Amino acid sequence: MTAAGKERKQSGGLAYDYDVGGLVEAAREARLHSYSPYSHFQVGAALLTENGRIYTGCNIENAAYTPTNCAERTAFFKAVSEGEHSFRAIAIAGGPEGSSREEQDFCPPCGVCRQVMMEFCSPKTFEIVLAGPGDAVRIRTLEELLPEGFGPGNLEGTLQ
């Protein structure tokens, strides 16, 4: 599938009505702001809220490694810090520093980012758009990338 325009369906029967291409382009643009002097691997993310607003993020590395923040979490934390809690989709674009669009491969979110998504998103409906070489995209639900994920629903009835 290509990222051009508003798509109505993707393989697996999921329907969506947002501008996949626009979301991917926002992620590719966010990637250009990456601070990655150690890995030289640049990642950008564009997070779409239920009300149509897009929050972008890039990976931000740190010499101590542990404080490094992924692009996806940067986008989520920006959105949540501004009061957003309902999300539809996220596009992710990544690749080595200086790589062209055609040289960039699919860049799935790490486990920590998937867990953050689980905190705020419905695993059955939240879509993760992976930008690939050229205009290629793969779209997966959070449930596909984090089967049997642990989230707020697991704690219902346990907190007082």
Binding residues for substrate: 59-65
Show contacts of 12-18: CB within 8 Å, 24+ apart. Answer: 12/144, 14/127, 14/139, 14/141, 16/88, 16/89, 16/127, 16/139, 18/48, 18/52, 18/88, 18/89
Tell me which of 25, 29, 72, 97 is the catalytic residue: 72
Active site residue 119: no
Active-site positions? 72
